[in-house]
Amino acid sequence: MIDPKPSASHFINGAYMEDTGGAPIEVIYAATGEKIAQVHSATPAVVEAALTSARAAQPAWAAMTGTERGRILRRAADIMRDRNRELSELETYDTGKPLQETLVADATSAADALEYFGGLAGSLTGEHIPLGGDFAYTVRQPLGVCVGIGAWNYPTQISCWKGAPALACGNAMVFKPSETTPLCALKVAEILHEAGLPAGLYNVVQGYGDVGAALVGDPRVDKVSLTGSAPTGKKVYAAAAAGMKHVTMELGGKSPLVIFDDADVDNAVSGAILANFYSSGQVCSNGTRVFVQSGIKGAFLARLKERTEAAVLGDPMNEATNFGPMVTEAQLQIVEGFIAKGIEEGATLLTGGTRAGSLGWFLRPTVFADVTDGMTIAREEIFGPVMSVLDFEDEADVVARANDTELGLSAGVFTNDLTRAHRVIGALDAGSCWINTYNLAPVEVPFGGVKGSGVGRENAKVAIEHYSQVKSVYVGMSAVEAPF
Ligand code: NAD
């Protein structure tokens, strides 16, 4: 296994940087509760160094050809793939997610983003607009300095889903990882520089919310991209608005997964497991409100219970383990609070609901049946391995109930009726949807939410719109006709 300790807390202007004046941030391995590393929150001097170096480096980076920029990103993608195992072990140390997952879902997804946006960089152009004799053209320009702020569930992926399009478009990035998972983004910065990224273009500063707020409020910052909870999103969006900055907000969800009684039971159970228990339920797009049509309910619950109880909990570094701990004890306690509420408000606990093992923050995958729309577990984002199964009879009714939430990140439908699948998914208020599968998020497909779940989209060609702006130039080709 790798040694998870980083060389220093921050990565600024192409090199590791330490400043022990900032508050210590302990990194606790979720599987054992042991402290495995420590970094320090950024002091104002560190924030200043990051922003100064980003500002200084950005114009020369923007002046390079897109092909040159893209080559560096694609080289970084190759290095990440070569080091997938060590990066996956680090991701497991940072988050507690099992290596069985991190080997295929984290550095690989980050490398995909670097490769995809590296490939697009050379084709980012404006357009020519003929206007009779005159014409106009547009120039696609970078925004300048972008700040990325991460959540703790996918630290490697989030740092690249933001960094790759930002850099491809000619911006500099200052990335603040979640204080819970500070390790992975440092490795991303190291690899980008090893691949040839000039100093100052991808800086990592550690810190709590106050460091994020200092970055968002700085007038030298042109864009803020946050992945976090809906309440944090409202604060960050408001602070960014005060400076008229561009934003991307990837926030939480309480997404519906609708299973009609013509669906294949085992396939629907697989979908519900993917939609609730991957990464121990700590996934923003999870389909945590599983609406099951009455005709399939009995068979669905029986199979779901059986398969959920077959989850292999244990040492996340053992590749046979497929279900890891919660990220922190605090998060575990929050989820236990929701489980208690579910029981108190009358839901039926089908399986799980208790801690497992004597070490670390393990919680058994938990399923509640007979959940009704007004229960707390059906209304609030839990961000843990708790699935709520709700009953329904009628299509129109389930669509209305599914949409009765302020959030709108994702939605899923399982049915073998082709027209119903498209009709229902079309009627659900969500940005990222699946038919007969769940939670697949390849870089080629836009990702993001509607309503309270966010603004803007990550991934795919559409992300370019969120990391660049268009300048229009009108060209007069004949004598100017002035009125006097
Ligand atoms: P969080 O909102 O507590 O923190 C997110 C980040 O924001 C952290 O880095 C934190 O330090 C920073 N922050 C906090 N206050 C800030 C402020 N005032 N100004 C600037 N930055 C501030 O979220 P979390 O607990 O780390 O992550 C879990 C949440 O993230 C869940 O709600 C989940 O749904 C959401 N999430 C969304 C997506 C998505 O793509 N839509 C992906 C993963 C997680």
pLDDT, one tens digit per residue, over 377-387 is: 999 999 999 99
- Give pLDDT, residue 413: 98
Number of helices (H), then strands (E), belonging to the chain: the values are 16, 22
Structure tokens at 17: 């940087």
Catalytic annotation present for 381: no
Please give the number of the atom of ligand 1 that sits closest to the Cα of 229.
32
Contact (CB, 8 A) for 50 and 12: yes
Contact (CB, 8 A) for 362 and 299: no
Using DSSP, state whether 396 is helix, strand or coil: helix
Catalytic annotation present for 458: yes
Report the residue among 154, 236, 284 best suited for mutation to probe ligand 1: largest number of ligand atoms under 8 A from its CB. 284
What distance in Å separates the CA atoms of residue 252 and residue 286, rounded to the nearest whole number?
9
Catalytic annotation present for 187: no
Cα 227 to middle of ligand 1, angstroms = 5
Contact (CB, 8 A) for 74 and 244: no
What distance in Å separates the CA atoms of residue 231 and residue 234, rounded to the nearest whole number?
5
What is the bridge-based pairing of β-strands 202-204 and 223-227? unpaired
What distance in Å separates the CA atoms of residue 241 and residue 53, rounded to the nearest whole number?
24
Helix axis angle, 66-82 to 107-121, nearest 10°: 160
Among residues 162, 176, 223, 254, the one annotated as catalytic is 162
- The low-confidence residues of the chain, meaning pLDDT below 50, are none
pTM above 0.95, yes or no: yes
- Give pLDDT, residue 428: 98
- Give pLDDT, residue 470: 98
What is the bridge-based pairing of β-strands 454-455 and 246-250? antiparallel
- Give pLDDT, residue 9: 98
Determine whether 138 is exposed, middle or buried from the number of CB atoms within 10 Å of its CB (0-12, 13-18, 19+).
middle
Using DSSP, state whether 363 is helix, strand or coil: strand
Please give the number of the atom of ligand 1 that sits closest to the Cα of 447.
40
Using DSSP, state whether 451 is helix, strand or coil: strand
pLDDT in tens, 55-113: 999 999 999 999 999 999 999 999 999 999 999 999 999 999 999 999 999 999 999 99
| Residues facing residue 204 across a β-bridge | 11, 175
Which candidate, 174, 219, 218, 195, places its Cα nearest to that of 54? 174
